[in-house]
Structures are given as C-alpha cells and as structure tokens.
Chains A and B, each alone.
Chain A
C-alpha cells in the first residue's frame, strides 16, 4: 500500500461555541479524487483550509493532520509548494489581466520566467482560455474565471489539487467541461480533494467520498458502492403527499421505507415491479419512479430537514 497523501485523525476545530469540525478522521490515497460532501455549514471548507493552514485545528495531542507526511502547522510552505488550491471565491486580481494574474502567482511559486511562460501557455490551452490571455478579469464569464483559478492552482505542477466547491453557480456545459478536465488531470496522476454539495458532481468524479454533517463523519465509501449498499434501489417520488396512502397500501407490508419532507413523499423499495404497480394506481403527472442515486443516500444520511444554520 502506498502512503496516503492526506491523513486526518481525530481533528477538531471550534469557532467560539460552534464546533465546525468535531472529531473527523479520514485518509486520501494518491491519484484518486476524494470528495467531502455536506450541506452548507457542515464543515467542509474548514477541513480544506486546515490542509494548507488557512485555518488552524484546535490544539490537541490526539489530533493529527498530515499532508505529504508533513504537518501544515510546521511545514506550511513545503505543503503549499506541492499543492494547488482553488478557493471557494474566485479571488482573481481584477486590476490585472489574465496573464499578469498568472505571472504574479508564478513568482509566488518561485518559478523561473521561462518555465512560467511555457506553463501559462500550456495550461491556458488545456483549459481552453488561450484566446483570453490578455483579457481583463471583468470581461470573463463566471465559468472562465473558475477555469482561470484552476489554471492558477496548477502552474507549479502540484501533486495535490484542493478544490472548494469547484462548480458552484456554473451552468451545466461549463460544469461538464470542468469535470472532464479534472478527470484528465487525475489520469495524469494528480490527487484531487474537493468539496461539493452537488451529488451528481461527486458521483461523476469521486473514487471515495466522505459525507459529513455538523462537523462529524456520517458515511464513507465509493459513490457507486454507497448507492448499492446504503439505499433501496428504487424510489417512487410523489409531489402530492395526499396520494401517499393510496400508493403505500398497494405495497407489501414492510417492503418499503417512506420519507416525507417539504410536502413531497418518497417511497423507497427494492421491488421494482411492486413500485410500478403502486404507481399505476395514481393519476399520471404527480409521481415519478426512478433508480435511487447518491442524493438519496446523502439525504438519508444527513436528514432531510433544513438546519437553522443553512
């Protein structure tokens, strides 16, 4: 077994009386994509920040954080020159153009001018931004800014890429482009850690996910494995809750699990034929029968109701 790139053991982080991270442990193996899933405020971003010492964990002899075998609080520079970070906000320098933004970072990474020039050209091409190399930041669309921040994080050929919500707020086309680029990078051997609350994104990209809720680990595994083992295979969704009794009475007793939230009802079951028969009793239009997915696993694991903090 190779050494893990990231090791997190029993890590806590409190802000005044809020426990943002409450005893989290996980490891990330090389050249995989690891996803931290959780709703807003679950503690995902805090975990990411602890990796490069943008946040400091609560001091405790039992807590360990190791990135490339190094503790961020002792070796922050050594970790950062092996890692690229894409923060949640696109904090590009609006006073500089695209190439100048990248040049400033190439200097911060300690790159020689010739190598910087070559990497900037390569990566702008890779992210399909070559035409924008002299554009002002304000002229860029949201998707272009996001891709540019990814280019900025990759300049120094990091071996770990840390992405905090890489595609939040982007349209489906851009999202798929970014996913494809990240897959290519992973095939090239890059280790990727990302946070997201899009289950589709986690399912498309991640080899390993950790679902967290209120700073605690809830569920861990390969997305496909989680869908196969942690949820019934099918779900009948009803947008009109008053129809639920009619559907449920058709199903064999104890064969289905019913969840109700926000006026909608979801009936989870393993028996596709029985769910189809139940659905046939209902007026068309108000229901939808489909295979369960990672979102169902996520909602089951984290509870359906909204939190006060959300």
Chain B
C-alpha cells in the first residue's frame, strides 16, 4: 500500500459537514426561509394577543400575553424541526436520493442522521430566537431572561427532530405525515400548557399532558423566563434529553435499514 494513506475526517468534522449541507440548502433561499419565523409570531400576537388578550387579562398568575410569549419560542421550534425531519427527510430519502449520494463520501449513516438531528436543533434555536426577538419588541417577554428560551429551543428542535425521524422511518407515503401533524402535533400545541395551564385540564387527563414531550419544554421555558425554580424542572430537562437520545437511537436504526440494503 502507498505510504500516504488519507485519514478519515473526525466524528466532529463529519457531523459538521452534514450540518453544513443542510445549512447551505436552507440559506440558499434566505428571504423565503428567513422571514416567516419573524412573521409568524407577529401574526400570532396580533391575532390572539390583541384580540383574545382583551378578554383574558391573566392566565395562571401571568399577564396573558406573557403567558403565551413564554411558550411560543419552543412551539415554533417544535413545528420547524418536525417539518424538517418529516417532509424534508422523506424527500431527501425517497425522491432526491440525497443520502445515497452522501454515504458514498466518508460519513456513516449514523453521522448523517445525528447531523440531521443537530440541524433540526439549530433550526429550533433560530426559530425560537426569532420569536424571542419579536416578543421582546412587543414587551411580552422580560429581557434578558427571555433569552433562556433560545437554548431550550435547540433542545426542543433536536427532540422533535429525533421523534420525527422515527415517524419518517415508519411512513411509506408522504401524505401519511398528515396524521402526525393533525393527530399529534396540533393537539400537543393546545394541551401542553401553551395557551392554558395543564392544571386546568380534568384530573383524569393531566397524566396524559405530562406524557406529551412539548409539556416539558414549555414548563421549562416559562419557569426559567420567570426565574422560578423547582425540582420538576430537572425532570423536564432530563425528559428532553432522554427522549432525544431514545428516539434518535431508534429512528436512526430504522432509517439505516432503508439506506444500507
């Protein structure tokens, strides 16, 4: 064998280069991709905050606008990560065959999807940062405490990225994602303490709300933004991390079987 054998890139570099690919594609259409994350919270504030807010002054001891604003950064992260790792992943997997091309380079299938989960986290971070900026401008989030929502946005994005990869690994037809969005994510948006506290749910339904992954992200964000601490928050943080790892492990294993044949 010749003397100068090339060395494979390190794990960190491989994950970065997968992440870079997604970043490159995303920033190619900066205006159409970068504007909606700012517009959505503005529309939400105008529609719900100013409209509904006139009738509801307080929610769970907080001004209603603040109550909403302390949850919206992570719900925004949830939706963007879910879109990325369902429709986005499915198109790359089945239509563009992008992964088939990428695994010819020195990256493993595991690298591809860990990179993808990190990318979903990054999008979550970006989207929640946009929401924080808008909410701060409207005076709906205390600053600088509101900034803690940004790293939680990363964790939420990574978690829903990983969960969505599991969904994608099961789905055979792109239209089936409608079940996931309408049947799971939309109800989750309403029953995770986003628009009303889960304590007002009927007693029998409360354990169900605790199972919803978004509940942990919302409680963590709202508490930290209000600078309130309790032991439950540690459990919430652990839930985000454990769910990400478990769903990531399972989803990647299943997706691997669709790429390495």
- How far apart sit A13 and B75, CA to CA, in the bound complex (Å)? 46
Complex interface: chain B residues within 8 A of A1 (CB): none
User: B103 within 8 Å of A by Cβ?
Assistant: yes
B197-222, CB under 8 A of A: which get 1 and which 0? 00000000000000000000000000
Query: Bound complex: CA of A239 vs CA of B107, how far in Å?
Result: 52
Assess whether B25 is in contact with A96, with CB atoms less than 8 Å apart. Answer: yes
Stretch at the interface among B1-9, B116-124, B157-165: B1-9
User: Cβ of A295 < 8 Å from any Cβ of B?
Assistant: no
Q: Quick one: which of A63-119 are within 8 Å of B by CB? A: 68-69, 76-78, 80-82, 84-85, 87, 89, 91-96, 100, 103-105, 107-110
Most chain A C-beta atoms within 10 Å of own C-beta, residue among B2, B8, B25, B259: B8
Query: Is B28 among interface residues, defined by CB-CB distance under 8 A?
Result: yes
Which B1-56 residues have C-beta < 8 A from chain A? 1-2, 5-9, 13-14, 16-18, 20-21, 24-25, 28
Q: How many A-B residue pairs have CB under 8 A?
A: 95
In the complex, the answer to whether B106 meets A77 with C-beta atoms within 8 Å is yes
| B106-A93 in contact (CB<8A) | no
The answer to whether B231 has its CB under 8 Å from any CB of chain A is no
A108 touches B8 (CB 8 A): no
B24 A110 Cβ-Cβ under 8 A? no
Kindly state whether residue B261 has any CB partner on chain A within 8 Å. yes
A156 proximal to B (CB < 8 A):
yes
Q: Which residues of B contact A54 (CB under 8 A)?
A: 100, 103-104, 259-261
Within 8 A of B (CB), among A159-214: 159
Are A82 and B24 also in contact (CB < 8 A) when A54-B261, A87-B101 are? Answer: no
B103 contacts A109, C-beta separation under 8 Å? no
B256 CB to closest chain A CB (Å) equals: 10
**Interface set of B (CB-CB < 8 Å, partner A):** 1-2, 5-9, 13-14, 16-18, 20-21, 24-25, 28, 96-98, 100-108, 259-261
When chains A and B are docked, how far (Å) is the Cα of A279 from the Cα of B101?
Answer: 52
Residue contact A93 to B25, C-beta cutoff 8 Å: yes
A15 to B257, CA, bound (A): 12
Chain B proximity of A4: nearest CB distance (Å) = 12
9 closest pairs, A vs B, by CB? A110-B9, A85-B104, A77-B8, A91-B101, A108-B105, A107-B17, A91-B97, A80-B106, A81-B106
A-to-B contact residues, CB < 8 Å? 3, 15, 49, 52-56, 68-69, 76-78, 80-82, 84-85, 87, 89, 91-96, 100, 103-105, 107-110, 152-153, 156, 159
Complex formed: what's the CA distance from A110 to B243 in Å?
Answer: 31
Interface centre among B7, B28, B104, B261 (most CB of A within 10 A): B104
Docked-complex contact A87 and B100, CB < 8 angstroms: yes
Question: Which residues of the other chain, B, contact A152 by a CB distance below 8 angstroms?
Answer: 101
Min C-beta distance of A34 to chain B, whole Å: 18
Choose from B5, B20, B28, B108 the contact partner of A107 (Cβ within 8 Å). B20
User: How many whole Å from A203's CB to the nearest CB in chain B?
Assistant: 27
Q: Closest B-chain residue to A85, C-beta based? A: B104
- Taking a contact as CB atoms under 8 Å apart, the answer to whether A55 and B260 are in contact is yes
- Complex alpha-carbon distance, A264 and B16, angstroms: 59
Identify the closest chain A residue to B102 (Cβ).
Answer: A108
Looking at the assembled complex, report how far the CB atom of B46 sits from the nearest CB atom of chain A, in whole angstroms: 32
Q: A162's closest neighbor in chain B, by CB?
A: B104
Cα separation A77 to B13 with both chains bound (whole Å): 13
Residues of the B chain whose Cβ atoms lie less than 8 Å from the Cβ of A103: 24
In the complex, are the beta carbons of B28 and A96 less than 8 A apart? Answer: yes
B108 touches which one: A76, A81, A96, A109 (CB < 8 A)?
A76
Q: Which residues of B contact A110 (CB under 8 A)?
A: 8-9, 13, 17, 106
- Given A69-B1, A104-B24, 12 additional A-B pairs, CB 8 A: A3-B1, A54-B100, A77-B8, A78-B5, A80-B106, A81-B106, A108-B17, A108-B107, A109-B106, A110-B8, A110-B13, A152-B101
Chain B residues with Cβ below 8 Å from A84 are: 104
Inter-chain CA distance A156–B21, complex, in Å, is: 17
Contact present for A87 and B104 (CB under 8 Å)? yes
